[in-house]
Amino acid sequence: MIDIKISSKIKKACPDIRLGIIDAKIEYQKENRKLWNEIDRTVKQIKTSIRQEQITELPVIKRTREAYLALGKEPARYRCSAEALLRRTVQGKDLYRINNVVDIINYISLLFHFSIGCYDYNKLTGPMEFGIGLEEENYQAIGRGEMNIANLPVFRDSHGPFGSPTSDSERTMITDKTNRILIIIIDFKKYELLSEAIEKTISCLKEYADAKEVFSSIIE
């Protein structure tokens, strides 16, 4: 597993931060129908249990927004992926069907409200650090084009920044060539649900992506 550290700067601004890490070999599929049956059931439950105005007060979402403010980034403009996904769901918009791996991550995010990064392991070069984006720094974000990552929580490897809770970069995205993945669940408040989210993610990877050689840990 690649060595991952949390920088002292982001730790100072967000002292309760920790990361749930999963490393696994997987089988890529364009779509898994059984998985989407589960996602559809979850979407229906969310639509009947969460209102739009409640989303920012959900504990995990609220703490993520507070972390963005502590770093100097406006959370309403650079929404974390979990909040954006919940808003799309509550508004009744269809979820994007990407591939079995990314769809699993979105499913877990809907269940637990954590923002989750998912990367092609073979496109990463360690060591890695979770820190803060620099002024005038950017990258090509998936589905967003060039994104300003200054003051965002940012993952870096030896080649530079590649991911954040708002949107990950195209450089390390999952493709049909991906056979090993690195998943990072971002927890800004040491919630007990992190361990449960890791276990559920691993279960889904095994069921819907034929995951093998799965390793997990929590970094603080």
Q: Which amino acid is at 190?
A: K
Q: Is the pLDDT of residue 136 over 90?
A: no
Question: What CA–CA distance (Å, rounded) separates 148 from 145?
Answer: 10
Average pLDDT over residues 39-50: 97
Helix (H) or strand (E) holding 198: helix 193-209
- The DSSP string of 53-117 is GGGGGSHHHHHHHHHHHHHT--TTTS--HHHHHHHHHHTTPPPP---HHHHHHHHHHHHH--EEE
Question: What CA–CA distance (Å, rounded) separates 88 from 82?
Answer: 10
Mean pLDDT of the chain: 96
Q: With cut-offs at 50, 70 and 90, classify the pLDDT of residue 138.
A: very high
Give 88-123 pLDDT, tens digit per residue: 999 999 999 999 999 999 999 999 999 999 999 999
Question: What CA–CA distance (Å, rounded) separates 128 from 6?
Answer: 9
Q: With cut-offs at 50, 70 and 90, classify the pLDDT of residue 86.
A: very high
Q: Is the pLDDT of residue 126 over 80?
A: yes
Give 155-199 pLDDT, tens digit per residue: 999 999 999 999 999 999 999 999 999 999 999 999 999 999 999
Give this prediction's pTM.
0.96
Tokens representing 107?
């499913």
pLDDT at 111: 98
Residues comprising the chain, all counted: 220
Percent of the residues in the chain that have a pLDDT greater than 90, as a whole number: 96
DSSP type of residue 199: H
